[in-house]
Structure formats: structure tokens, C-alpha cells
Amino acid sequence: MAEASSAVPAARPRRFLGLEWPDRVTSAERRSLVAGGLGWMLDAMDVMLYSLVLSHLMRELGMSKGMGGLLNSLTLLASALGGLLFGFLADRVGRTRALMLSILVYSAASGACGLSQTIVQLAFFRFLLGLGMGGEWTTGAALIAETWRAEHRGKALGLMQSTWAIGEIIAACVVGLVLPRFGWRAVFFVGILPALLVLWIRRDVPESEVWLEKGRPGPGALRVLLRPDIRRNGLLATAMNALGMFGYWGLFTWIPAYLALPVEQGGRGLDLFQTTTWLVVMGVGKWLGYVLFGFAADAFGRRRSYVVYLLVAAALVPLYGLATRPSMLLLLGPFVAFFGTGFFSGFSALAAELFPTEVRATAMGVSYNIGRGLSAAAPFVVGALATRYSLGSAFFLLAFAFFLAALLALALPETRGKVLE
């Protein structure tokens, strides 16, 4: 079976970040990575816009902290459903078609958020955005995993995942430029722009050859997921993913408000310029964490890299919650972001290597997005705890979630180097 859609060019390898890296990648590999990466980057931008204007939404629409967290939990719950639906669709109509549809859904929903007049309307549009968000990861990760060669799959998926951090940096810049001049509604209107990416994908991005050769799954293909070995590993991966994302979403949904809210409301009282700067610095830490996890996963294995990242995150998050000085928040922020997000890069490679081709996108969607659905409670739980205690205190719960995720990672098999059939 084809591992990439064209022959690998004969070229002298060069060294990148201390590891051998091919001098050139194939056209199909490059385009699949650009398509999945840009889709994920713009998805991150649209999702992060909400967190960055949350304090303004709370004031204008009369939302409590608990309601603000609940709306983001609703988006995450919808993303779980979207991952399931688009994964099922991608196994039947192809990775690229499903990818394009997911981008259109989240772009249109983001723009619609700017038209919201009530909390109910905003909740409905955030639900639609979540459907597209979940679908983009499932379809983009499946496309890249099946197009890239086994020895570089972790790097490619790490690079894809790293674009989430770039999207968050773009979102912070958009808010810094647009919010003071045009208000929060205009911020959401910017989220329509990712729809233009669909035009390029439709014209220039080839379908996965692995999917084309394998063909559409038969009516009983989903029973493969019930095989004992696949069921065990799928459940472990899902639980690990749920706990890791509980820590992530609980933390990074509330960090913008944590930095910006007044001290008497449990925040740290940073102004808009400081908050934007601190978030951009954290975004750089996220990007490095995502990218370097992919290289570490190819060099040392998926499981070992997971455990190290998650344990360090569990140690750093409480320190961040206790920090009060802006300088300490600025110092710790990139490291919290590096370890508290970088482990995401491993899940797409791990999941792609655990499941067979005929149900790969569906299984990746099920495992990743059930985990994300279970983690959807995190923003609400943190908001509720913050109402009674403080945001910094609520972060201790997220550290414990990272620790439990590290323990589950130890029980997973090592899949590094597996060639997809």
C-alpha cells in the first residue's frame, strides 16, 4: 500500500533540530500538511476569539463566570459530536471533502456569533462552531497521517498541531487591533475569512492514496472497533485524552480572563496591552511545545514523550495559579504553555497508528472527540470554582487532571514507526 502519494525524491538528508530530516518532501505530503495546518490554525483563531472577548461578553450580555464557562463547554461538547460526524463522513466521501465542509461550518458560525443579541443565540452559534471545530481535526489529522511516511509522521502531525498556537496568536492580535476600534461583534466577523481556504483545498490538495486504495468501508466495518485489542487501546487513549484536554481547556479558556480581570475579582489586573503581550508570549511557548513533541515522539516514542510533558505540566500549573506578579506570570507562561499543550501533537499520530484504515477517521473522531466531550465540563467547573474561590485556586484541579493523564499514558502501547496499510 502507498504510504505517500508520490515517490520520495532521492536527496541527501539534512539535519533539523538534531534529527535527520528529508531534504525535500513530496508534493502530496506538503500540500496535505499545509491544508490540515491552515485549517487547524484558523480553527484555533475562531475558537480563541471567544475566550479573548469573554470579559466583554460577560458585561454586555450579563453573563456570570459560570455561564461564560458553560458556553465554552457547549462548544467543546459540540466539537465531540462534530468529530464523530465528520470522521464518519471522511471514511465515506474522502478526507479532503470532509475537511472543506468542516472549515465552512466553523467559519460561518464564527461570523454569526457577531450577530448574537442574546445568550441563547450566542450559545447556538457556538454549538455550530464546535461541530466544525471537531470535524477539522479529525479530517485533517487523518489526511496527514495517511499521506506522510511512518518515520516522519509524528513530526508532520506535530507541525500541524503547532498551528493551533499560531492561530491563538493571530486571535490575540485581531482582538488587540479590532476590539478597541470596532467592538466585540467585529472581532467575530473576522472569523469568516477561513472559508476562503476551501477554494485552495478543492483545487490543489490531493485525496489520501491510502483511503483511495482501501475504498469505502463496508456496512459492518464499525464492528472492527469492538475487537478486544482495539477496544482496550481505544478506551485508554480516550480516557487519557479526556483528562489531558480537561486540563488544557480548563486552563486556556480562563487564562485571558485570569490575566485581565481586576484583582478583587480573582484576576491579575493586567491591561489590554499587557494581556495581549502575555498571551502572544504564551503562544510562542505553545508552538514550540507542539513542534518539539512531534520530533520527540519520532525519536523517543509516543508514550515516553506523553508522560514527560504531562508530568511537567502538572507541576507548573499550580505555580502559575499562585503567581501574583506580572513578571512571574510572564516568566512561567511560556513553560506552562509548552508542556500544557505540546502533548496534543502526539494524539493524532498515536490514534492513526492504533486503528485500521477502513475505520481510521471514524475511530480517531470517536476517541479524540469523546475525550473532548468529556473534557467539555472543564471551563464550567473552573468558572464555578472561581466564583466560590478564585481562578488561581481552580487551576490545582487541572494539574491533577494532567497527572492522571500521565499515568494512563503509561498503559498505552508504543506505536512509533508503524507503517499504515
Residue 14 bridge partners (DSSP): 21
- Quote the CA–CA distance of 239 and 146 in Å, as a whole number: 24
CB-side exposure of 191: number of CA atoms within 13 Å?
36
Q: What is the pLDDT of residue 277?
A: 84
CATH number of residue 115's parent domain: 1.20.1250.20
User: Who's near 188: CB < 8 A, 6+ residues apart?
Assistant: 49, 53, 110, 111, 112, 113, 114
180 is a domain residue: yes
**Overall domain count for the chain:** 1
Q: What is the pLDDT of residue 222?
A: 63
399 is a domain residue: yes
pLDDT digit string (tens) for 306-348? Answer: 899 999 999 999 998 888 888 888 888 899 999 998 888 878 7
Q: CA 168, 257, 334: angle at the middle one, nearest 5?
A: 50
Residues 95 and 139 sit within 8 Å (Cβ to Cβ): yes
Rounded to the nearest integer, the mean pLDDT of the chain is: 81
Instruction: Using the structure block, give the residue that is written with the C-alpha cell 479573548.
Output: 52
135 is a domain residue: yes
pLDDT digit string (tens) for 90-133? Answer: 888 888 889 899 999 988 998 899 888 888 999 999 999 989 88
288 is a domain residue: yes
Range of the domain at 110: 25-409
Give 356's DSSP letter. -
245 is a domain residue: yes
Which positions of the chain have pLDDT values less than 50?
A: 1-19
- Quote the CA–CA distance of 343 and 310 in Å, as a whole number: 7
CA of residue 41 relative to chain centroid, distance: 9
8 is a domain residue: no
15 is a domain residue: no
SS (H, E, C) 274-303: HHHHHHHHHHHHHHHHHHHHHHHHHHHCHH
- Among the listed residues 230, 204, 169, 187, the one whose alpha carbon sits nearest the alpha carbon of residue 359: 230
12 is a domain residue: no
Q: CA 384, 390, 392: angle at the middle one, nearest 5?
A: 115
- Measure CA of the first residue to CA of the last residue in the chain; give whole Å: 6
